A and B are shown apart, each in its own frame.
Chain A
Amino acid sequence: MGEVTARIGVNGTPRELVVPAQELLLDTLRERLGLTGAKRSCDVQVCGTCTVLVDGEPVSSCTYLTCDADGREVLTIEGFAEQPEFAEFERAFDERAALQCGFCTPGFVLTLKALRDAGELRSREDVIQGLDGNICRCTGYKSIVEAAEMLIGEPAAGLRGER
């Protein structure tokens, strides 16, 4: 079982990780780094509950090799929660009660952040299209759409075009 060294920025902290070549980013985050906000569910990249951002793009960490993140920046919900912009997302989800069991919630929040940073969160249609890769089994989605509509707007200053 070959091991590789991956130099990854995790929530802003540079990490040098020696991992098996086939190790998945989700396992690295959860088992090695104790970042359990990203969850495992479908294992086939359809549910979105393992979503993290790699260089600002949402990826399913259940099917993303840790070694492929070498030289990149990974943002998990734990890291995003430390950023000033997060308060607005938290308020929207709280106010609309846009969560129930909470298992999928970090994935939805990170996907919405990526959409907004890319300037792709401008309308209800954007919300529906942009959240197509995230499943929520509890809410019926209506509350999540309402929360997302509260977040519609321009990317935070300086972010557009960076990804």
Chain B
Amino acid sequence: MSTAETATPSATADRVGHSGGRKDAAPKIRGRAQFAGDINVPRMVHGKVLRAEFPHARIVSIDTSAAERMPGVVAVLVGPELTGFDPYWGHAIKDRPILALDRVRFRGEPVAAVAAEDEATAEAALREIVVEYEELPVLGTVAEAIADDAPLVHDGELRPGLFHGLGKLPEREGNVCYRYRLDAGSVELAEAEGELTVEGEYEFPAVYQYAMETHTVVADFGDGEITLWASCQHPFLVRAEIADLFNLPLGRVRVIVPYLGGGFGSKSYTKMEPITAALSWKAGRPVRIQNGVEESMVTTRRHGMRCRMRTTADRDGKLLSRSVRLWLDTGAYADNGPRVCATAGDAAPGPYRWEAVHVAASCVYSNTAPAGSYRAFGAVHMQWIGEMQIDELARRAGIDPLEIRRRNLLRPGEPVRPDGSGKPLDADLVGDVEKAAAAVGWGEPKREWAGRGLSVGLLAAGAHPVSNASVRMEADGGVEVNVGTTEMGQGARTVMAQIAAEELAIEIDRVTVQGADTRFTPYDRSTGASRSTTLAGLAVQRAAADLRERLLETAAGAWGADRPELEIVDGVVHGPGHEAGYPELIAERFGFAGGELVGQGEVRPEQGSGSYAEGPVFWEICIAAAEVVVDPETGRVGVERMATIADVGKAINPLLVERQDEGAVLQGVGNALFEEMVYKDGYLTNDNLLDYRVPRIEDMPAQMTGIIVENGDGPGPYGAKGCGEGAQAATPAAIATALADAGVPMNQLPFTPERVWRRIQELR
């Protein structure tokens, strides 16, 4: 990095690479940290949303008169009132009205919204709204949605949203809203030459992210200006979508992001902001809408998927070809479906050397809740399938699963995409998987019904590389980092403070990092795709280095010294016959007891356009090993040992890296063993946390090992690259391969006791 080359050596700046405490620990432990639902603004009223009772129906009439007459009700808003502007939004495809206009496409779709003096009144008013529906045929599954005679979920042309970012939208084909295709070499020829072939059909469930803080927005729409306090991961993209929707200049929409109570992708892009802003417009007062869990479950979810895969190898286990056909259920509105589809397509070949690959992926509308981003999307869908097939080929070839990977895994510098496009591999996968295998006792004797498994994958990470930051030093030497990264638990504010402290050789305590306020915070594309440390962190590093230059230039000018004669140690600039702390230098510069210095940092595509096809920014490494034990009487799977690799280039804060991966493992365990949104004919049958089970403390694997690999091979500050998603993609896959090793290969997630027990009976 250019900044590292120009850095003034600093003997004591060791803030990076140390597991210091979190900047947000005290406010969070004391319950003082502010989340969107804790915000009260003057004159604020409470909003509630009336949601569709049917998965697919025409709205015949809506009668809101009784609700409007209720004391305490301030406003009632319905779709047909949204006239005079284009009420459709959607960052990928503009397919979604703020409120249902003439028909509802999923059960839970917003139909009306009420603002009232208190929540109880708003809720009571919802019960007074009478909606007459005429039910329409329901497409409850992908199979139904892609049938030749399936009715269309959306009529007419699909319009691209502001940020679909995947080139030209392909022609629509029935209910398929996006297609991804990859062809390299001739699969037919490779299969003819292959001696070993594995083929199967697989199912992946719809899953709920369950950020414990449900989607929450406070909106104040007044005087041609909208202010939003929103639980959102991507404030600048939300700002753009809201400005576009309501025909306002960007500067007239202000998005303020407090702490987020978890995101995991569920708060990426725009969610509840349009409806809250519209209700505030109608009410003429600030409005807060806070979803219940049952509402957040139908606001966004992970895509369910059906997949057929065939992998071929020669007799010695040399991989030859892979052919993949997959269908993702994106629900009634596209949300981030197109990108999930492209990422799944990207992940489908797996990190191996092939003679030929064919991938065809479809993103399909149905009458279920919209599906979007959830940690490690695409990779988590594909990795368990691909890795189970690799293991089956190893078994048939008579070689060890670790050995087949050693022979076939890509080496650093080799192209990842089989067609040679995009960024080549930037990691040592063989070294990584060997470490993971060793951590679960690979090769040691096993008991009956125990199995060990490995999984290796790659996830296209970083999204589009645009991040800016500024670092401001006050007259007393205190430093404020302004960066758009959302703190949603991953520790971003701590890591940004460490980077600034390192560059300026000061104590981390002197650094403050605030949440984004789009009016003042420099632009950052988004918080997701494991990009914050790598891209926003690089912007902060550059901004802090820029600020350091201002300080050195001030000292050089004041002392008549040459720059190479200056050195910074612990926040003090030393030069020939002089030394001065930062406050003295600022006072010197301005001849006054006030003033400030500001450094700017910018990150943009270094070569090419930064497009998805040319990317990714880096390949996130998804590697894990598992040891499981199956109880053949009950089908229960116990995870005894889990090891994950955080191949992060450089760990800015090693403890936080480990902690993030432990969380990813537990979410992966949930995805593998019990999490599933159960839909029946378009009705979600487990829309609460009693029936939808997430991992509890007793589900923690008996042994969890997080291994950090630091090869300095990332594009971020100090050679860092992102983490936090890889372990989630790798965990279900490692559990799947371990379960197959125990004698129970499964083709449907989650591996519930009932499914595992039935499979054992089948195999007996």
Interfacial residues, chain A to chain B (CB-CB below 8 A): 20, 27, 30-31, 36-44, 46-47, 49, 76-78, 81, 89-90, 93-95, 97, 99-106, 109, 127-128, 131-132, 134-145
Contacts and interface: CB of A to CB of B under 8 A. Distances in A.
A62 to B, nearest CB: 11
A142 B29 contact: no
Interface residues of B, number: 59
A37 B32 contact: yes
Contacts of A20: 120
Interface in B645-677: 655-656, 659-667
Interface in B609-659: 655-656, 659
B689 interface: yes
Contacts, number: 164
Contacts of B26: 90, 94
Interface stretch (B1-9, B333-341, B488-496, B523-531): B488-496
A141 B212 contact: no
B35 A103 contact: yes
B213 A101 contact: yes
Given A97-B655, A135-B694, A105 B700 contact: no
A137 B659 contact: no
Nearest to A139: B663
Interface stretch (B257-265, B310-318, B406-414, B421-429): B257-265
Contact of A41 (B25, B38, B212, B698): B212
Interface of B: 19, 21-22, 24-35, 37-38, 118-120, 210-214, 259-264, 290, 292-293, 488-491, 655-656, 659-667, 688-690, 694-698, 700, 704
Nearest to A130: B697
27 contacts: A36-B38, A49-B212, A78-B32, A89-B29, A93-B29, A94-B25, A97-B656, A100-B489, A101-B262, A102-B33, A102-B489, A104-B212, A105-B28, A105-B29, A105-B31, A106-B30, A106-B31, A132-B698, A135-B694, A139-B662, A140-B662, A140-B704, A141-B666, A141-B695, A142-B704, A143-B659, A145-B700
Contact of A101 (B34, B261, B694, B700): B261
Contact of B689 (A42, A102, A136): A42
Contacts of A37: 30-32
Main secondary structure of the interface of A (DSSP, over half): loop
Given A42-B293, A43-B293, A103-B212, A137 B31 contact: no
Given A20-B120, A142-B700, A143-B662, A101 B212 contact: yes
Contacts of B293: 41-43
Contacts of B694: 135, 137
Given A78-B30, A94-B21, A94-B26, A138 B655 contact: no
A103 B688 contact: no
Given A99-B25, A105-B28, A141 B213 contact: no
B29 A94 contact: yes
Nearest to B209: A137
Contacts of A49: 212
Given A39-B213, A99-B22, A132-B696, 17 more contacts: A36-B38, A40-B37, A47-B212, A81-B31, A99-B28, A99-B29, A100-B489, A100-B659, A102-B259, A131-B697, A137-B210, A138-B489, A139-B659, A139-B666, A140-B700, A140-B704, A142-B704
Nearest to B120: A20
B30 A90 contact: yes
A95 B28 CA distance: 14
A135 B696 CA distance: 6
A102 B24 contact: yes
